[in-house]
Amino acid sequence: MTPLQLTTIILEIVRRAWRRLLRQPARLVGAIGTPLLLWLLIASGAARSFTPVGFDEVGYEAFMLPGIMTLITVFACIFSSITIIEDRNEGWLQALTVSPAPRWTIAVGSIAGGATVGALQALVLLPAAPLIGLALTPQGIVAATAAVACTAIAMTALGLAFAWRCESSAGFHGVMNIVLMPMWLLSSAMFPIDGASAWIRAVMQLNPLTWCTEAIRAPLLGGEWLTSLVLSAGFAVAMIVIATAVIARRPKA
Amino acid sequence: MTGPPALSVRDVTFAYARRGSRDTALSGVSFDVAPGHRVALLGPNGSGKSTLFRLLCGAITPATGTIERFGVGATVADRSDLGVVFPTPALDKHLTVEENLVLHGTLFGLSRARVRDAIGPALDRAGIPEVRTARVSALSTGLARRVDLVRALLPGPRLLLLDEPTLGLDPPSRTAFVDEIDSRASDGLTVLMSTHLTDAAEHFDRVVLLHEGRVAADDTPGALRHAIGALLVSVADSTWRPPDDAWTLRGATWERAAPADANAVAQLVGSLAADGTPCSVTPPTLEHVFRHATGAALADAEAAP
């Protein structure tokens, strides 16, 4: 196939992901509404009780906003990944895997579709930053957007790699909850690394989702973001390679 | 026949690994499908049809033996000349018919514009032009199946593989579906359909009977029926004691070929009636052929674990 044909396949799969999202409003509400509610309740409730170490000047709401953007990205991307299991149950995936389209185009298209859907849902929160006293700069917006994009790509690819081998969406949810909730809780979304005990701090520093959350937070709250962003991009690339290898290796038909 | 067969299956064996043991699904399966022919792969659930179907699609590879499409190994053959219809329509229910068809067309390397141009004539030919903008979730089962057939045919395959495509369809929908396949076959399309329904297989050019992972018989429906006699006398009571060795118990039914002479048939039926044994005299069906070839009824074999 020519590069144009391959690009068309990838774009069609991305287009499908968007159509599915826009035609399932409940999915949109679930992916944005739940974390948003969590942010409003926790941040508002804990605002006067907790002062995150090293973030005395910005307040807990502002500290938590990037963590909530990470959570929205994780939720939305994982919801997108479940599509693969539905596709298999409904026969769509079988037709895809016996078509002449190379497997990697299915992987890249699915990752791109899920990631754009997830990233844009998280970025909806970005305009809320000035409302809680954060000054957005053009450079900060670009850097935070890039960080959200890396997070979305990595989490969609991680979800796809799991979903490709999962028989049921219930099993997928089980595995994902065990993996993702600890990952998110230990990603500096709710509490800063500096205030954690030594062993938790060590785990948090090794957690790729910490790099992502910090890469979103630093441009918004003012700080050095390049290192976190580079690490997040590396995480995204590694997950793309893993997901593509899993999908290309063997059909789960 | 000139050139290679559209499909060539040679000594194919396949086994699933199950907790340290191997569960044989196919043993030494061989048959050919000539270009332009319609072949039905008939067998009960568990006979190995689905495994064979996945092998024919190139989704999995045989443990031993070879499968070729138009002379090229199935796993490396160009898939652009292959159309596949699965038991469940491969359509995204959240998308419209047109959106589904455009997406599938692009998977075959077709441009969006070319697919869109082809959709109208394809739906017209299938007799369902009105569904073009409909959401798939709003279609009936029968319509969704027919759209799925259009999906498989849109890229212009030379070989169409169908796995239980009429399952769950009501008679009118089944007739419309089969008519569409016949219409395409008359244009030279090669068709192989996997089914456990004898009536669906009856009008195919050839029938390959599959039982317990092996080919039990392979011929035209007429030749298969003729091999077991022009007429069959059946007694649907396994506890009945037949008067002679001409009778064979197949499943729960005693059967024998009817005598060639009409008077002898009447005499046989009369004597059974006199004994209070109800019987039927019918031309053999593929159900009879299956029983004759395997000793099991299609329904019995289906019920077996």
Strand spans (E) along chain A: none
Question: Would you call B103 and A97 a contact, using CB atoms and an 8 Å cutoff?
Answer: no
Residue B39 has pLDDT above 50, yes or no: yes
- The DSSP 8-state label assigned to residue B230 in this structure reads S
CA atoms of B211 and B209, how far apart (whole Å): 7
Considering only CB atoms, B79 lies closest to which of A5, A8, A100, namely: A100
Residue A250 has pLDDT above 60, yes or no: no
pLDDT at A244: 93
Residue A48 has pLDDT above 80, yes or no: no
Which residues in chain A are contacts of B111 at CB distance < 8 A?
A: 5, 8
CA atoms of A78 and A115, how far apart (whole Å): 10
Which residues in chain B are contacts of A13 at CB distance < 8 A?
A: 103
Which residues in chain A are contacts of B104 at CB distance < 8 A?
A: 95, 99
Determine the residue type at B97: V
pLDDT tens by residue, A7-33: 999 999 999 989 988 888 887 787 777
Nearest to B105 by CA among B165, B57, B156, B161: B156
Residue B33 has pLDDT above 60, yes or no: yes
Name the minimum distance, in Å, from the CA of A203 to any CA of chain B: 37
Question: Would you call B92 and A251 a contact, using CB atoms and an 8 Å cutoff?
Answer: no
Question: Would you call A91 and B89 a contact, using CB atoms and an 8 Å cutoff?
Answer: yes
CA atoms of B229 and B265, how far apart (whole Å): 13
Q: Which of B106, B114, B159 to mutate to test the interface with A (most CBs of A within 10 A)?
A: B106
Predicted confidence band of residue B1 (pLDDT cuts 50, 70, 90): low
Higher pLDDT, B199 or A55: B199
Residues of A with CB under 8 A from a CB of B: 1-2, 5, 8-9, 12-13, 15-16, 19-20, 23-24, 87, 90-92, 94-101, 251, 253
Answer for the pair B216, B47: CB distance below 8 angstroms, yes or no: no
Question: Would you call B90 and A91 a contact, using CB atoms and an 8 Å cutoff?
Answer: yes
Predicted confidence band of residue B208 (pLDDT cuts 50, 70, 90): very high
Q: How many contacts does A have with B, using Cβ atoms within 8 A?
A: 78
How far the first Cα of chain B sits from its last, in Å, is 41
Contacts of B131 (CB under 8 A, 6+ apart): B97, B123, B139, B143, B147
Is the minimum CB–CB distance between B89 and chain A shorter than 8 Å?
yes
pLDDT at B303: 43
pLDDT at B305: 38
- Look at the block and give the residue holding tokens 């999995």: B60
Is the minimum CB–CB distance between B87 and chain A shorter than 8 Å?
yes
**What is the helix (H) or strand (E) element at residue B162, kind and residue range?**
strand B159-163
CA atoms of A159 and A142, how far apart (whole Å): 26
Number of neighbours of residue B166 by Cβ within 10 angstroms: 22
CA B219, B222, B223, B228 torsion-angle sign: positive
In the sheet that holds B253-257, the strands lie side by side as B248-250, B253-257, B232-235, B280-282
pLDDT at B236: 87
Which residues in chain B are contacts of A85 at CB distance < 8 A?
A: none
Question: Would you call B109 and A253 a contact, using CB atoms and an 8 Å cutoff?
Answer: no
Paired sense of beta strands B38-42 and B190-195, if any: parallel
CA atoms of B97 and A26, how far apart (whole Å): 23
Searching chain B, which residue's CA lies closest to the CA of residue A106? B107
pLDDT at A54: 66
Predicted confidence band of residue B47 (pLDDT cuts 50, 70, 90): confident
Searching chain B, which residue's CA lies closest to the CA of residue A252? B59
Question: Would you call A92 and B90 a contact, using CB atoms and an 8 Å cutoff?
Answer: yes
Searching chain B, which residue's CA lies closest to the CA of residue A6? B109
Which residues in chain A are contacts of B107 at CB distance < 8 A?
A: 9, 12, 96, 99-101
pLDDT above 70 covers a percentage of chain A that reads 94
Average pLDDT over residues B227-242: 84
Is the minimum CB–CB distance between B92 and chain A shorter than 8 Å?
yes
Question: Would you call A16 and B92 a contact, using CB atoms and an 8 Å cutoff?
Answer: yes
Name the minimum distance, in Å, from the CA of B132 to any CA of chain A: 17
Most confident of A161-170, B115-124, B158-167, B245-254: B115-124
Question: Would you call B91 and A92 a contact, using CB atoms and an 8 Å cutoff?
Answer: yes
Task: Give B280: exposed, middle or buried? Use CB within 10 Å, 0-12, 13-18, 19+.
Answer: exposed
Considering only CB atoms, A100 lies closest to which of B59, B78, B99, namely: B78
Searching chain A, which residue's CA lies closest to the CA of residue B58? A98
Answer for the pair B29, B11: CB distance below 8 angstroms, yes or no: yes
Is the minimum CB–CB distance between B151 and chain A shorter than 8 Å?
yes
> Which pTM does this prediction carry?
0.81
Question: Would you call A12 and B112 a contact, using CB atoms and an 8 Å cutoff?
Answer: yes
pLDDT tens by residue, B119-154: 999 999 888 999 999 999 999 988 899 999 999 999
Task: Give A206: exposed, middle or buried? Use CB within 10 Å, 0-12, 13-18, 19+.
Answer: exposed
CA atoms of B262 and B248, how far apart (whole Å): 21
CA atoms of B275 and B240, how far apart (whole Å): 11
Name the minimum distance, in Å, from the CA of A17 to any CA of chain B: 10
Which residues in chain B are contacts of A100 at CB distance < 8 A?
A: 78-80, 107-109
Name the minimum distance, in Å, from the CA of A168 to any CA of chain B: 17
CA atoms of A103 and A155, how far apart (whole Å): 19
Average pLDDT over residues A195-224: 90
- Look at the block and give the residue holding tokens 């003729």: B226
